[in-house]
Amino acid sequence: MVAPQTFGRYRVTGTLGRGAMGEVHAAVDEVLGREVAIKTLHGGASGLAARMLDERFKQEARAIASFTHPHVVQVFDIDLAANPPYLVMERVSGPSLKERLAERSLSERELRALGIQIANALAAAHAAGVVHRDVKPANILIAGEGTWKLADFGVAHVPDSSLTMTGQFVGSPAYAPPEALLRGQLGPAGDIYGLGATLYQAISGRWPRAEGTSGALLGPVPPIAELVPAMSPQVAEVIDRAVAIEPDQRPSAADFASALARANTQPVIAATDPARIATPTPFAAPVETQFVASTPGATAYAAHGAAATSTSGPMATAPG
C-alpha cells in the first residue's frame, strides 16, 4: 500500500491542476481538519532561477497576507525549505471564470455581481499598496453560487518588492493595458483594465482585442454596446471606461464597484450558449500565460510557463 503524500501537516487527497512550473494539490490540514489547496514548485531549478521562483512564492504570500477580503483567496502557510517548496491556500470550489466562459457567457446580472465583488477585492488590495498585475478569467474562481474570488497573486507588486525591475512587463498581454505593453507600467489602473477586459469578454463572448496582432493589442477596444446592444447603458459605460487607452480615464476600483452597483439592470440580457463564445485567434490564446519582458522592444519569455490544466473538482489557483 502506498503511503499518502504529505506536506508537513497537510495530507494530499488529489491533484487539482498542473503547469510547467508546478502543481496544485487538494489536501487536508490534519491539525485543523479543513480542506486546503497546496501550490508547489517543481524541483530542479538552481541559482538565479531558483531564487526568483522562491521570491515569487514569497511575494505571492506577502501580497495576500497584507490585506484580507472575502473575495480574495487566502494564504494559510508557506514553506520554502521543503522539497518541493509549497504554499498552502484556501480551497475554492471552482471552476475558474475561464472554464465557465467555455460553456456560456454570463448574464448581465451575473456580470454585475462578478464585477462588484472583484472590483471591491482590488480596492482592498490597492489600499494596501498591492497591485495584482494579472487580472484575467483564469485567475477568478467560482466560490459558490453567485460568489467569486480573485486568485494567483504570483506576479503581484507589493510595497517592499524589488523583484521586478523598472521597465519590465509582467502579466498576460491579452488582458494587459497599453501602458504595460509599451512601457512596462503596471499600476492600479492596469488592474482595472484587466477586470474591464474580463467583463467585456464575459458578456460579449469575444476577446477585447481579438485580431491578435500587435496593433490590436495596443489599439482602442470597440464600445461593448456594438457587440451587446441589449445591455444596460450604465453597465456598458463603466466597462468602456475601464478599458480606456489612457490610465487616467479609467475609474478606481472603488468607483468601478460603485458604478456597477448603481447601474440600472433594465434591460437585462440573458446568458448565451457556447456558440456565442468567440474562438481565440492563434495569437490570442497563448498570450494569456504569464510573461516577463523588458520593454519596449524586448523579446518576452514565459515567467511561469504554461497555465495549469485543471482537473475536475475544487481548486485554488493554477500553478504559474
Q: Which three cell numbers stand for residue 204?
A: 460579449
Report yes or no: 238 and 251 within 8 Å, Cβ to Cβ. Answer: yes
Q: How far is CA 108 from the centre of its chain?
A: 21
Report yes or no: 121 and 150 within 8 Å, Cβ to Cβ. Answer: yes
Ordered alpha helix ranges (H), the chain: 47-65, 97-101, 108-127, 178-183, 188-204, 214-218, 233-242, 253-262
Please confirm, yes or no, whether 255 is among the known catalytic residues.
no
Q: Which three cell numbers stand for residue 320?
A: 504559474
Let me know the angle formed at the C-alpha of 130 by 167 and 151, rounded to the nearest 5 degrees. 105
Report yes or no: 199 and 242 within 8 Å, Cβ to Cβ. Answer: yes
Distance CA 285, CA 70 (A): 30
Distance CA 13, CA 9 (A): 13
Which residues pair with residue 92 across a beta bridge?
A: 315
Ordered alpha helix ranges (H), 90-187: 97-101, 108-127, 178-183
Burial (CB count <10 Å: 0-12, 13-18, 19+), residue 132: buried
Question: 29, 134, 152, 240: which one is catalytic?
Answer: 134
The one-letter amino acid at 42: H
| Positions marked active-site | 134
